[in-house]
């Protein structure tokens, strides 16, 4: 099944899907059609896909909302547009598929909001992280106050937005905006390697990690510990857990469903 569109190229290689944002000359700036294509993929991923790589074309990840195509909206329309971004970013984060961002060039505004909805982030030296909305007279609307703010902290994010400050790959690694800082041309090879490794995990374990950990972080200590126990009970009594233990005792790699 092909889900490629004009703006999003989808390539399936076994259990791994590679999604390439494709707006040449626009630094892969986000338009409604690109957002809709991403929404469609994560709403109905191809059968057998167990991990996703998200990247961009022509040396950029995503430069955020395409302001040249900005549609004037009233307050209600702007709120609903923002809430749709929230819905799609939540879908990326919580669909149950592990998502790896292979980043270079612009990871700006909405591009950073999208990157921080993914689970593993890899940055090449050309990567620039920025939230320039303050310089445009607007405010973030795709989830940055929650996702980026929880990585940087409210104080540092506020300074980043007030000043338009840019962080490079190494600074982003130190701050937690990326998990891996790699050399030029190394992001995609590492993304494929990690995706292949993650795809071999039990899908239920991956689902639990993706859906439980960030939510537990929002809970009280007592609620979080109880939820952890529920996740442990479900996963540790599954067929995959039985296979994992059997494979360990037989000194072989497990073969999960």
CATH code of residue 106: 3.90.226.10
| Cα–Cα nearest to 62, from 21, 98, 116 | 21
Domains: count for the chain: 2
Name the helix (H) or strand (E) containing 12.
strand 8-13
Given a contact cutoff of 8 angstroms between Cβ atoms, the answer to whether 247 and 255 are in contact is: yes
The H helix count followed by the E strand count for the chain is 10, 9
pLDDT digits (tens, 9 = 90+) for 214-254: 999 999 999 999 999 999 999 999 998 888 888 888 888 88
Q: How many alpha carbons lie under 13 Å from residue 168 in its C-beta half-sphere?
A: 6
Residues 110 and 208 grouped into a single domain: no
Active site residues: 113, 133
In which domain, by residue range, is 212 found? Answer: 203-249
256 occurs within a structural domain: no
Q: What is the DSSP letter of 181?
A: E
Residues 186 and 207 grouped into a single domain: no
- The yes-or-no verdict on residue 1 having pLDDT over 70 is no
- Listed in sequence order, the residues at least 6 apart from 82 whose beta carbon sits closer than 8 Å to its beta carbon are 141, 142
Judged by DSSP in three states, 240 sits in helix
Given a contact cutoff of 8 angstroms between Cβ atoms, the answer to whether 178 and 172 are in contact is: yes
Residues 207 and 194 grouped into a single domain: no
255 occurs within a structural domain: no
More confident of the two residues 93 and 67: 93
Residues 230 and 125 grouped into a single domain: no
Residues 97 and 185 grouped into a single domain: yes
Residues 18 and 119 grouped into a single domain: yes
162 occurs within a structural domain: yes
2 occurs within a structural domain: no
Q: What span, in angstroms and rounded, lies between the C-alpha atoms of 24 and 252?
A: 46
pLDDT digits (tens, 9 = 90+) for 44-68: 999 999 999 999 999 999 999 887 7
Identify the domain boundary among 199, 219, 239.
Answer: 199
Mean residue pLDDT across the chain: 94
Residues 73 and 100 grouped into a single domain: yes
């Amino acid at each position: 099944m092909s889900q490629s569109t004009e703006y999003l190229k989808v390539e399936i290689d076994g259990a791994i899907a590679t999604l390439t944002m494709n707006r040449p000359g626009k630094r892969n700036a986000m338009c409604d059609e690109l957002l809709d294509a991403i929404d469609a993929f994560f709403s109905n991923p191809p059968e057998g896909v167990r991990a996703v790589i998200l990247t961009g074309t022509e040396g950029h990840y995503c430069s955020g909302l395409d302001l040249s195509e900005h549609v004037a909206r009233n307050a209600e329309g702007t709120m609903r547009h923002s809430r749709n971004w929230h819905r799609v970013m939540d879908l990326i984060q919580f669909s149950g598929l592990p998502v790896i961002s292979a980043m270079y060039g612009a990871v700006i505004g909405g591009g950073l909001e999208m990157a921080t909805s993914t689970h593993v982030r890899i940055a090449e030296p050309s990567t620039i992280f920025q939230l320039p909305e303050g310089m445009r007279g607007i405010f973030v609307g795709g989830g940055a106050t929650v996702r980026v703010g929880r990585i940087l902290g409210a104080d540092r994010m506020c300074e980043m937005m007030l000043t338009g400050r840019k962080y490079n790959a190494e600074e982003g690694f130190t701050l937690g905006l990326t998990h891996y800082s790699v050399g030029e041309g190394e992001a995609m090879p590492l993304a494929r390697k990690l995706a292949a490794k993650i795809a071999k995990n039990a899908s239920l374990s991956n689902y639990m990690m993706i859906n439980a950990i960030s939510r537990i972080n929002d809970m009280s200590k007592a609620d979080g510990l109880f939820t952890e126990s529920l996740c442990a009970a479900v996963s540790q009594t599954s067929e995959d857990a039985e296979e994992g233990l059997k494979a360990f005792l037989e000194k072989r790699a497990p073969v999960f469903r």
